[in-house]
Structure 1
Amino acid sequence: MSETPTSLTATQLGAYFAFTEVSSLLRHAVEKQLRDAGDLSYVQFQLLARLGDAADGRLRMTDLADGVVYSRSGLTYQAQLLETRGLVVRSPSVEDERSIVVAITEAGREVLSTVFPGHIAALHELLFVALSDGDVDELGRILGQAAEHLRANPPRSAAPRRRKPTAAS
């Protein structure tokens, strides 16, 4: 069993501060762009984007919550707001009546198509213009590795929900 470190190296601390600064600055700018272009919160955008990428435009609420690392109750509230705007519809799952399925509507796809050009431009301008293609590859590899490590012992909002055995199991 290894000892828990009690300090960070200067390099580790610098990397951490750079990561949090970039994350905060980028998130702020992206959230502003999403609000201005589509009257969406960051979580609402993630929800719509994941639904837009789903093969049939539908996902279970628990899968959405696991994917966007958001509390299930918080995501239910966000989905309710989107449903009120006509951007998604919620319905009981045909496979499991205890599950709720969320589906993107045509209006939801239209909002995505309105938001995406500015979203992509903001990401290019704020993050990717300062990096070479090799840097982006390396950044993706490093952050993917960190995400994989974090998901190995995730907070409850990021942990896949364990399904209760059914009579058919």
Structure 2
Amino acid sequence: MSTQPPRLSATELAAYFAFTEVSSLLRHAVEKQLKDVGQLSYVQFQLLARLGDAPGGSQRMTDLADGVVYSRSGLTYQAQSLEERGLVTRAPSPEDERSTIVAITAAGREVLAKVFPGHIEAVKSLLFESLTDADVEALARMMTQVSGHLRANPPRSAGRRKAPTSAPASPSASRASSARGSVTD
């Protein structure tokens, strides 16, 4: 018995191609505006915007990575670049020395203020101008539904980090366990 591979209907395929085309065209235009006006990558903009909206202007690095759906190592590189420009600061968390807190600086807020008007104009003119209010409401509802579905089972690099449930075993306990595991019956 052969199993048929899954297929997309003509409507699903058209929706998928339209979505990827819109995403690519919009992202290209937005990235160009962010680079031209603020010398920011899209991820750097997302990082600054999230910090700008966060209480106290700071967040844990892992929470930022989860929010922007970017690998933790990649976001570390982006935060380092922003720190070198004086747009953010990074410091160990006072509650957990394993965590890093990233905070937006006054210079970071100035860059956001400079890029936001053009960013909003690009999004409005390229994405929303051809839609009615009802279309925008439907789009928001659908994309929120899809986002929730995707976030329910994200890739490892985009998944929310779970809190440790127990302390790791000591090295000697691990070696003893490993030695027991290698004994055959």
State whether TM-score is above 0.5. Answer: yes
Task: Report what 2:7 is aligned to.
Answer: 7
Task: Report what 2:122 is aligned to.
Answer: 122
Structure 1 segments of 4+ aligned residues over 6 angstroms from their partners: none
- How is 1:55-74 mapped onto 2 (pairs within 5 angstroms)? 55-74=55-74
Deviation at 1:166, TM superposition (A): 6.9
Moved more, 4-13 or 150-159: 4-13
2 CA distance for matches of 1:4 and 1:114? Answer: 53
Deviation at 1:110, TM superposition (A): 0.2
Does residue 104 (structure 1) correspond to residue 101 (structure 2)? The answer is no
- How is 1:18-167 mapped onto 2 (pairs within 5 angstroms)? 18-165=18-165
2 CA distance for matches of 1:127 and 1:135? Answer: 11
Over 3 Å counting, the alpha-carbon distance change for 1:88 and 1:6 in structure 2 is: same
2 CA distance for matches of 1:17 and 1:147? Answer: 18
Residues 105-164 of structure 1, C-alpha deviations (whole Å, 9 max, x = no match): 000000000000000000111111101111101000000000000011101122110122
Over 3 Å counting, the alpha-carbon distance change for 1:157 and 1:4 in structure 2 is: farther
2 CA distance for matches of 1:146 and 1:16? Answer: 13
Higher-Rg structure is 2
Q: Flag structure 2 segments of 5+ consecutive residues without an equivalent.
A: 168-185
Q: Which amino acid aligns with 2:55?
A: A
1 CA distance for matches of 2:61 and 2:26? Answer: 27
Compute the TM-score of the two structures, normalised by the length of structure 1: 0.94
Residues 76-104 of structure 1, C-alpha deviations (whole Å, 9 max, x = no match): 00000000000000000011110000000
Q: Which structure has more RCO (C-alpha within 8 Å, separation ≥ 6)?
A: 1
2 CA distance for matches of 1:105 and 1:51? Answer: 9
2 CA distance for matches of 1:55 and 1:66? Answer: 17
Q: Flag structure 1 segments of 5+ consecutive residues without an equivalent.
A: none
SS at 1:46 equivalent: helix
Over 3 Å counting, the alpha-carbon distance change for 1:165 and 1:97 in structure 2 is: farther
Over 3 Å counting, the alpha-carbon distance change for 1:85 and 1:143 in structure 2 is: same
